[in-house]
Structure formats: structure tokens, C-alpha cells
Amino acid sequence: MENVKAYYSNAPVGGIDFKNKNINDQGNVLLKPLLTGICGTDRGIVNAGLSFAYNPEGYNFLVIGHESLCQVIESESNQFKSGDIAVPLVRRPGNCPNCLIGRPDNCSDGDKHEAGITGLHGFMREEFKDYDYNLVKVADPSLGDLGVLTEPTKNVVKAFEVFEKVSSRSVYHNSSSTLEGKKALIIGTGSEAFLYALLSRDYGFETYILNRHPIEKNKMEMCQAFDVNFVNSSEDNDFPDKSSIDLLIDTSGDPGTVFGFVRKMNYNGIAILFGTNEKAPVGTVTGSDIDHIVERNITIAGSVDAARIHYIKALNYLSKWKKQYGNVLNDMITGYYKPGDLDLFRKKPDGEIKSVIRW
């Protein structure tokens, strides 16, 4: 579609006062989006599955798009020059103690905003202004389009920080001081699941990703390249055969599936809940599930978003993986689309890992 200026959803207007903070027209850097990734959150907003999303104050629409790779067009900042490549931060701080120390990802009162999600317009637009302190520079030119994976990768880096903090409550590693032989199960086979699988392998976990149907050839090949095992739970409902999951990461938001696997977690196991799906069917937690969790010191933790430090680490991981896996990593971007390819928000293309819009 020609002349598309922005996408929008019809989320209801929220009540938080966030006047004069829209990123349309304020900032010392003018940016042109090159690529915008789309993810489960965007589809959740467009399909009314995420009630926490809301429009900026005074608007009856929300420009979506939070996974952006941009080029600097003009800059009044000494941190950026025209031509630089940058990724904008999604979350913008409020005034709570966590927000004030640069950790709005751990906001204590919910009074923060997220570009393209909660009360702040996003990056699916032909250009916008932002402040340099909201931008992370992509310095490695070899990353190219893969820079668009910085934003989804930063969530994974933060979740592993949560894993590290929680795992320190007991001795978690094996008797040789590594995680070799420890089992990580990631529920889901979307982009976040593949990024979790990559980092899980880096940590040394024997890594499994799971769905309740077979996955396409490109995804099977990617599992092979990353040394990750795929489990089709509709065929293999005995996986794993005993309570042996040391790290469970959920990207599905499906409570029945999550607690089905919490029942199979090992002593001192850690479950990180990450996927959100308000439309998921009700799941059941029994007394014996609670018994299992308590008696084994299992921790269930939620993890959302990430801070600037995780964007920087995400870029480092992407550069490392690019060297390690070469062009296989490029295949994480499974499709390039045009602004106006609206079906993309309603239906996942076959074999999708990361679909991106090229501006």
C-alpha cells in the first residue's frame, strides 16, 4: 500500500497522564525505520488479546511496532551521526525507584509506558524523533538486518538474568561446575522460543523446544544447526519420562501446558513464564502440583521486558551467534513484508520465525 504513514489498533484510551511525551515529534535524533519486526505482542494487540495495551492520552488509536531497526537521518546529539544504525528502547520510565535507576523493566508501580504497546506510539511509521538516551547504537556492520532481532533478544537476556538470580538460592550447577547434563525445555516454537533456545545452548543446557504439532522443515533445520531438540507433544506425551526439567521457559501463555510440565520439573527447578495469552483456556493446578513445587523447591518467576544493558548484551550475543552460525542465523528472518500487508497481523505465515516489515 502506498503512502502508509502508520499502523494503528483500536485499543481503548488509558487513564495515565503522559502528555507531551509522544515520540512522534520530540527528540534530538530523527530516525527512519528500516525494518520493524512483528511478534506475538503485536498480534495480541491487533486481535484484542492483550487488555494491558492502551492508546496514548488524547488519541483514539495506537501506532504499533516496538521491534525496530532504524537509520539516523539527522542528529543534534553528539552520540549519533547521520547514517548510524540504532534500536529504540521500548519501555520508557515512570517515577518509581526501579524506573529511576534505569530498570523500568522492573517498574514497581506500573506507571511506565511502552512504545507501540502501552500509552505511547510505536515505530511502524516512516520516520520519528527520539532522544539519544532512548537509542542503542548498532555498531557491528556484519549484523545487517539481524539488528532487528535486538529487541526480542533483549527480553531473553533479561530472563536469563532472572534465572541467574533465582538459581543462586541453592547449588544449581553440576559437580563439575557447569550446566552440562541439565535440561531446559522451552514451550513454543516462535521467534522468542528460538532466541531462548540459542541462549540456553550458550549456557550449556541440553535444550528442547516444544509444540503440540510438527514444525516446518526450516524450523527443524534450524534446531539441527543450533543443536536443539524438537518435541512434538501431540505424539510424544511422555516427554520427559521423569521429573528432570531443570529450566522451563514458557512462550505460549497456555496454563494447562505450563503446569503439565511444572509437574515434570526437577529439584531446584526454575520456571520462567514469559508468554501471555489472555484467550488461553483455563488450566488446572492440583494439590499434588503444589506438593511437587514445594517439596522440590521449584521457583516460578514471571519475566517481562528488559533494560538498556540487556539491549547491549543482546547485540553482543547476536554478533557472536552470527560468527558461530553464519547465514543460518539470517534464516531467523523468515519473511520481508510491505507496509500494508495487513494479513500478517491476522495469520502467521507458514514456517514463520520472524516476519519483518521493510520501510
Within residues 145-164, the interface with ligand BGC by CB under 6 A covers 151, 155
Site residues for Zn ion, 54-73, by CB under 5 A, read 67
Query: With CB cut-offs between 5 and 8 Å by kind, which of Zn ion, ligand BGC, ligand DN4, none does residue 114 bind?
Result: ligand BGC
**Burial letters for 55-74: b for 16+ Cβ neighbours within 10 Å, e otherwise?**
bbbeeeebbbbbbbbbbbee
Q: Assess 39 for contact with ligand BGC (CB under 6 A).
A: yes
Q: Does 277 bind ligand DN4 (CB under 6 A)?
A: yes
Quick check: 254 binds ligand DN4 (CB under 6 A)? yes
- Cβ atoms of residues 96 and 108 within 8 Å: yes
Nearer to Zn ion (CB atom), residue 138 or residue 265: 138
Residue type, 183: K
Among ligand BGC, Zn ion, ligand DN4, none, the one that 263 touches (CB under a kind-dependent 5 to 8 A) is: none
CB nearer to ligand BGC: give 181 or 302: 302
Q: Which of 6, 29, 86, 90 binds ligand BGC (CB under 6 A)?
A: 90
CA distances to 139, 260, 354 from 296, rounded to whole Å, are: 44, 16, 37
User: If DSSP codes are grouped into helix, strand and coil, which group holds residue 31?
Assistant: strand
Binding-site member from 65, 88, 147, 190 for ligand DN4 (CB under 6 A) = 190
348 binds, among ligand BGC, Zn ion, ligand DN4, none (CB under 5 to 8 A by kind): ligand DN4
Whose CA is closest to 131, among 36, 25, 35?
25
**Rounded to the nearest whole angstrom, what is the least distance from the CB of residue 308 to ligand BGC in the complex?**
12
Per-residue buried b or exposed e for 206-222, using 16+ beta carbons within 10 Å of the residue's own CB: bbbbbbeeebeeebeeb
Does residue 206 interact with ligand DN4 by CB under 6 A? no
SS3 209: strand
In the complex, the smallest distance separating the C-beta of residue 267 from Zn ion, rounded to whole angstroms, is: 34
- At 353, list the grid cell: 520465525
Locate cell 534530538: which residue? 28
| Nine-digit cell string for 185 | 525445555
Residue-wise DSSP of 308-320 = HHHHHHHHHHHHH
Nearer to ligand DN4 (CB atom), residue 27 or residue 88: 88
Please, which residue, 117 or 272, has the CB nearer to ligand BGC? 117
Please identify, using beta-carbon distances, which residue of 4 and 304 lies nearer to ligand DN4. Answer: 304
Q: Tell me the one-letter amino acid at 65.
A: G
Q: Which residues bind ligand BGC (CB under 6 A)?
A: 39, 41, 66, 90-91, 114, 117, 151, 155, 304-305
